[in-house]
Amino acid sequence: MTAEPFDTVLVVDFGAQYAQLIARRVRECRVFSEIVPSTMPVAEMLAKRPKAIILSGGPSSVYADGAPQVDVALFDAGVPTFGICYGFQAMALALGGEVRRTGLSEFGHTPLRVTQPRSVLFTGLPDAQSVWMSHGDSVWSAPTGFVVTAESDGAHVAAFEDVSRGLAGVQFHPEVVHTPHGQKVLEHFLYDVAGCRPTWTMVNIVEEQVERVRAQIGGKRAICGLSGGVDSAVAAAVVQRAIGDRLTCVFVDHGLLRKGEAEQVERDFVASTGVQLKVVDASQRFLDALAGLTDPEDKRKAIGREFIRVFEQAAREVVAESEAHGESVEFLVQGTLYPDVVESGGGEGAANIKSHHNVGGLPDDLQFSLVEPLRTLFKDEVRRVGEELGLPPEIVWRQPFPGPGLGIRIIGEVTAERLAVLREADAIAREELSAAGLDREIWQCPVVLLADVRSVGVQGDGRTYGHPVVLRPVSSEDAMTADWTRLPYDVLARISTRITNEVRAINRVTLDVTSKPPGTIEWE
């Protein structure tokens, strides 16, 4: 998925919940990584010319029927390989070692003892350290040629290495934060065992993607749907850097954005990139489509349907204008990220509008070829690319925001009045989080208006019957799982006081302290 001058590390996914995390940790070592399924034939893996391969953990027992195995041909190819947890056991089994269910399972924080001071993996690390374990089976004996380098109470072979062949493995999970020295272990494998070069930097990433886009589009024109979010903004900025004024961005203002965000797109993004922007104010059209709807799915579908229709019309106008000047618009820019690719199986296909709603596609007579300059990147990497391109911090560090916008943060019917109330409350919460220096520490903080709920309150000398809002601050790396953020009480107090003082329709502020799972980040 990338080209020279970067080394590539393949992360072979055996069904691990941490496969994406392993890939992220490799990239933090400034080495490019790509996730591939364990079902991929070895020949296809080797065709990608990897500098190294990492075998991930997984939920199975290596002896279970149908459990994924490692083709021994992988180890005969001469590519340095590192096994983690299940991948460690699968490596041991494939190379002639023994794996047993000893009855000594280990889960969570586990003391590890380094038994070989000259171990490459543990160079410079404490002989006694804490690691994160999650296993029932254990490697009983290492394959011939391997040196056992660490042990725990439940695994007398907790790590091994055969540096001469570029092979190593650990029973624990070095990729999680609960293994304090885990990143160093990964670095030792990547740099000292596999000989990877730490050349995958933001400057190189931008240069490579710009060249890829320039080669793909050639002398044609492209169109991009801007949502106001960081993904579409950075994707557009990369393409703008590559082809200049042959890119036209379309911003559909559906009237469901947060306070100041439409102006941010129209003013700050254009000022920082010089991009050609076509703005379509469709706020009344979306309000009309949402009238009377209270079911979350009905609202999502209505918003998605209207977006497709509005964008389709805008795209036709851009195409017609270009054709009038003898040019053709053949490409659609999307802010697809690497997790989207992994979770969808990495498939290719005709253009679907992903950047706003993940719904529908363009009609047959408006088919474009996709340009996805962020297709190899995780969210944190996208933000760093945005900084490298000079985008405003307000756009680069904007919290993830759902395509349907405030339409799904209002529980009940969406009206202009309710949107105005929620905008003000949301703006206050964001201002106070920023003032406290917390807006980069949390993943996002949805503010939800319970429009169909009222409660009694007292404001001034009078009794009120107003709406409650819910604060939903969460911390996450990828939104697959999340925990509620423990905000300081004084910050919560300021948010609550300001909202109830300044937004007259709201007389109660509540805090959602549910993790994901069982809850979701958004309420609808």
| Choice among 29, 34, 85, 357 that is catalytic | 85
Beta strand pairing call for 98-100 and 52-55: unpaired
Beta strand pairing call for 247-253 and 276-281: parallel
Structure tokens at 130: 């804490």
Cα 402 to Cα 63, 327, 354, 356, 433: the distances in Å are 43, 34, 12, 8, 19
| Choice among 135, 173, 188, 357 that is catalytic | 173
Residue whose pair of structure tokens reads 């609960």 in the numeric block: 178
Q: What is the dihedral of CA 46, 47, 51, 53, to 10 degrees?
A: -40
* Residue 173 annotated among the catalytic residues of the structure: yes
Structure tokens at 208: 């490579």
| Choice among 34, 106, 161, 175 that is catalytic | 175
Alpha-carbon distance 230 to 208, whole Å?
20
DSSP letters, 305-348, are HHHHHHHHHHHHHHHHHHHHTT--EEEEE----HHHHHHTTT--
Number of neighbours of residue 470 by Cβ within 10 angstroms: 18
Alpha-carbon distance 480 to 409, whole Å?
19
Alpha-carbon distance 196 to 319, whole Å?
46
- 321: phi then psi, degrees, rounded to nearest 5: -65, -40
* Cβ contact 419:445 at 8 Å: no
Structure tokens at 136: 């029932």
Number of neighbours of residue 455 by Cβ within 10 angstroms: 13
Alpha-carbon distance 103 to 154, whole Å?
8
Structure tokens at 177: 């934060």
* Residue 85 annotated among the catalytic residues of the structure: yes
Residue 52 β-bridge partners:
9
Alpha-carbon distance 503 to 431, whole Å?
14
Q: Which of 445, 419, 145 is nearest to 287 (CA)?
A: 419
Alpha-carbon distance 439 to 423, whole Å?
17
* Cβ contact 446:486 at 8 Å: no
For the chain, the C-alpha Rg in angstroms (whole number) is 26
Alpha-carbon distance 140 to 155, whole Å?
8
Q: What is the dihedral of CA 27, 29, 31, 33, to 10 degrees?
A: -30
Residues with Cβ < 8 Å from 44, sequence gap 6 or more?
36
Active site residues: 85, 173, 175
